[in-house]
């Protein structure tokens, strides 16, 4: 069942107000993702030569169109992980606000286009 455009517009505006009301930039938020990988050190006598490798934590993120991978010391992981989560939540909220804005723009455009068609029909044609 299709939702009436007025109801959809009202719902999008309400959602956008809710998101903006709770939106706060986390001052310590971090972009990207935190991941655990395993690397071999290359020493033939090391246990990693046969096994899984040494655990390595890294933060991967994009900045100015470039990908960065920063190694994170194991003892920092517990403090970095919540900062990444806060950064992701902020980014997701901003993306949702932008999506609502885009949907509202499309609805406004469609509405103004329909009004223009109605006004065009109502205008009397000049007599020749």
Half-sphere exposure of 53 (CA within 13 A, CB side): 10
pLDDT at residue number 5: 79
Structure tokens at 39: 């690397």
The residue among 86, 79, 84, 81 whose CA lies nearest residue 24 is 86
Cα 58 to Cα 37: distance, rounded to the nearest angstrom: 8
pLDDT at residue number 121: 58
pLDDT at residue number 8: 87
Q: Structure pTM?
A: 0.72
- Over its length of 128 residues, how does the chain's per-residue pLDDT go in tens digits? 566 778 888 999 999 999 999 889 999 999 999 999 999 988 989 988 888 899 999 999 999 999 999 999 999 999 999 999 999 999 999 999 999 999 999 988 876 656 655 555 555 666 66
CB 85 within 8 A of CB 28: no
Residues whose CB is less than 8 angstroms from the CB of residue 20 and which lie 6 or more positions away in sequence, other chains included: 97
pLDDT at residue number 49: 86
Q: Where are the domains of the chain?
A: 5-122
Structure tokens at 40: 């071999």
pLDDT at residue number 103: 93
Cα 26 to Cα 91: distance, rounded to the nearest angstrom: 10
């Amino acid at each position: 069942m299709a939702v009436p455009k007025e109801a959809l517009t009202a719902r999008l505006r309400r959602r956008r107000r809710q998101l903006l009301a709770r939106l706060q930039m986390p001052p310590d938020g971090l972009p990207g993702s935190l991941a655990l990988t395993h690397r071999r050190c290359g020493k033939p006598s090391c246990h990693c030569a046969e096994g899984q490798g040494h655990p390595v934590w890294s933060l991967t993120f994009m900045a100015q169109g470039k990908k960065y991978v920063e190694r994170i010391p194991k003892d920092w992981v517990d403090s970095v992980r919540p900062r990444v989560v806060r950064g992701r939540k902020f980014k997701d909220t901003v993306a949702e606000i932008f999506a609502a804005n885009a949907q509202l723009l499309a609805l406004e455009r469609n509405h103004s286009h329909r009004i223009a068609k109605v006004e065009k029909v109502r205008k009397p044609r000049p007599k020749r």
